[in-house]
Amino acid sequence: MKKLVIASNNPGKLREFQFLLQPLGIEVLTQAQLGIAEAEEPHVTFIENALAKARHVSRLSGLPALADDSGICVTALGGAPGVQSARYAGDNPKSDQRNNEKLLQDMQGVADRRAHYYCVLVLLHHADDPQPLIAEGEWHGEIAHEERGEGGFGYDPLFWLPELGKMSAELSRDEKHAISHRGKAMKVLLHKLQSGNGA
């Protein structure tokens, strides 16, 4: 596999994928570079949405496609924002800042602050690939009471890591990739590719 299209227009995700895929020597293209619009994500599970995105991009590009669906799941909110993480505060426009403000508002007075980031990666060699490569990762922490830190994206300024005494947004890129949900899922995917499962 020489080329791969990432089924995302999220600049934060694109930076992470390009960094994580460097060791394999695969040329990473984005769907925007190929003029491909974002796929619909109507499903209630991360895996179904990731499959839909990968199929859409692979079909229109004729190339292997990698899609991720990820989000933050808050225990006290029954797993919300979940698959709606990117548009928790609405679509008009999608905004990390507005999403964080809504989450803080919804968590007012809530004692149980447990939450985890979840990521599922789906790699299709072609649009009708009957055996997609699937890799998952989880990253557990808590929802803080206020934002802190300048790094990362999404809910990182609110994602508190008790064992490190830091917010996700206070980690360096290398620190984050070593322990994040996407970093963990990517390690599983890379292992599958390097062991020949993705040949």
- Among residues 69, 91, 106, 112, the one annotated as catalytic is 69
Model confidence, pTM: 0.89
Q: What is the mean pLDDT of the chain?
A: 92
Per domain, the residue ranges of the chain are 3-194
- Structure-token pair, residue 5: 């299209």
Q: Answer for the pair 118, 84: CB distance below 8 angstroms, yes or no.
A: no
**pLDDT of 199 above 60:** no
| 132 phi-psi bin (left φ>0, alpha ψ -120 to 50, beta other) | beta
91 is catalytic: no
Rg (CA), the chain: 17
SS3 169: helix
The dotted CATH code for 3-194 is 3.90.950.10
pLDDT bin (cut points 50, 70, 90) of residue 7 is very high
Q: Answer for the pair 65, 27: CB distance below 8 angstroms, yes or no.
A: no
Q: Answer for the pair 137, 180: CB distance below 8 angstroms, yes or no.
A: yes
Determine the Cα–Cα distance for residues 199 and 182; give it in Å rounded to an integer: 22
pLDDT tens profile 50-108: 999 999 999 999 999 999 999 999 999 999 999 999 999 998 888 999 999 999 999 99
pLDDT tens profile 92-120: 888 999 999 999 999 999 999 999 999 99
